[in-house]
A and B are shown apart, each in its own frame.
Chain A
Amino acid sequence: MSNSFFQHTQTAHCESGVISNLLGHYGLQISEPMAFGIGAGIFFGHLPFVKVNGVPGTTYRIWPGAIFQRVCKRLGVKMEAEKFSTPEKGMQALDKVIAEGVPVGLLSSVYYLPYFPPSYRFHFNAHNLVVYGKEDGQYLVSDPVMETVTTIDPESLAQARFAKGFPAPKGKMYYPVSVPDSVSFEKPIKAGIEQACHYMLKIPVPLFGVKGIRYLAKKVQHYAEKPGDRKATLYLGNVIRMQEEIGTGGAGFRFLYSAFLQEASTVLKNDQLSKLATEFTETGDLWRNFAFAAGRVCKSRSVDSVSYKELSEMLLQCAASEEVFFRKLAQVQL
């Protein structure tokens, strides 16, 4: 049984990409930036106590799954989502659904996906991909961050879906059961923008949003003393990797969000949004400059407090620029 008519489009980020590809399959055309914006994906968080391989976590976007959930809710798409207790049950359920010709979104661990370059295969459990069929015992895969469709053997797929660790995907699979014939993006865009501003400016915890960037800046300033030495460059390296690694789309999603604002300004016929898009592009460029400088520090492996102080100041600039931007965005009459 084959139904290899799934339209694969490569995107920058896995979650917004899967949304765009899956909904597009049902005739609901939504671009990746639009999905990202409506889902209020833009975010910042620095979590010193959530350590991955001993390195504190930094995120430039909202937690996995949130974009999906929000987009479906705001567009009136009904999703069926299931988790499973054993790989056998999970693979059976997958076979059953794809046999009906329904493409399925899957949560999986990057570590067990053989089609990725080995250098990317860390234990990262929140990757999204689409399986749209099975041919000669191999699953047909549309992974949104890959250029073309690919295949995967059942064993690897089962391992990727049932990887342990945090968060454990538990074979999570999801697929639309009802997609509205026509949707208006206007209201969902407004809701998405409002939520993004709230998350960036108003969370009363210093680890998140603009406050989180300042918090990271403070930490970076003292990286030379704490954690010091070799570890400091590893910590810093992780900040860059989260900003740029596959699934982030460059400059920690800032360009992706600008692209959304540009599209939103056309939909809502609102010039202010397109001006703000240009402004936020500049914020993205600040982040890029930061990554450049941080990359140099990592490369030289020098542990001098002067360079860390400079990096810290660059982060404060990013924070200031984001604060100004989100305050303006919150003021726009939509």
Chain B
Amino acid sequence: MGKMSVDLCGITLDNPVIPASGTFGYGYEFAELYDINILGTFSFKGTTKDPRFGNPTPRIAECTAGMINAVGLQNPGVEKVISEELPKMRKVFRKKVMANVSGFSIEDYAYTCEKLDKCEEVGWLEVNVSCPNVHGGGMSFGTSPEAAAEVTKAVKKVTTKPVIIKLSPNVTDIVSIAKACEEAGADGISLINTLLGMRIDLKTKKPVIANKMGGFSGSAIFPVAVRMVYQVANAVNIPVVGMGGVSKAEDVIELMLAGATAVEIGAQNLIDPFCARDIINDLPMVMEKYGINSLSDIIGGAK
């Protein structure tokens, strides 16, 4: 294992850097810019059982040090993802990829995961029980330990691949939900998804986003991510993938010290398309600066 490599649920990553779902498409827009095989892996666009157009526009609003999105899980549906997107992705990315899955019922989750389980290029299933954008959707699963556990159990039944449950920060007790997922058989936890937010346009005096509310992300939310990763990593015995406002190599190390085995990068990809590459390039220098010999040694190092 190299100095930057980590083990995520039995699969070795060359480095812990993972572009987050919804900010990296299926990789090929970024593959035009640099060889994306330098990434640890990436989590592709959230996939649902049926095709979805998502929410009306505007779907995007700016905030101080961040943004709100209410895309609403636009995707072509799992059948087309497998038949059209994954073959295209395969041409530009040779490593195991993380498949991100959303659903509106237990059956939806199981259906989509069972299909993706058959895909050789998929290494992990990242099950989003937390997307705050869809009315009556993912939110309800991620806000209750029982519902999150039920999704976990249903998904575990249909796949042999590692299942990582992606949690919402919009809850009162993140630890109880993470623990419930672990007890239900989850192989890992990823967090944090976006924080529910809203902006109002002073000129029109109406919400900026057509859906009114959306998910707040970007560097402003980083301290919330550090806190929640720390709380969860200290409560469970399965790997935690940390994310939320990561924009530089130092942030990756900070989240790993908080307990993350690997780190996802979200909104920063949208404003700086080279950031994942630059973070990977910067990591050795930053490790040396802080006297870190191996990244896998520092996981959960902050007590």
Chain A bound to chain B = no
**Which residues of B come within 8 Å of A, CB atoms?**
none
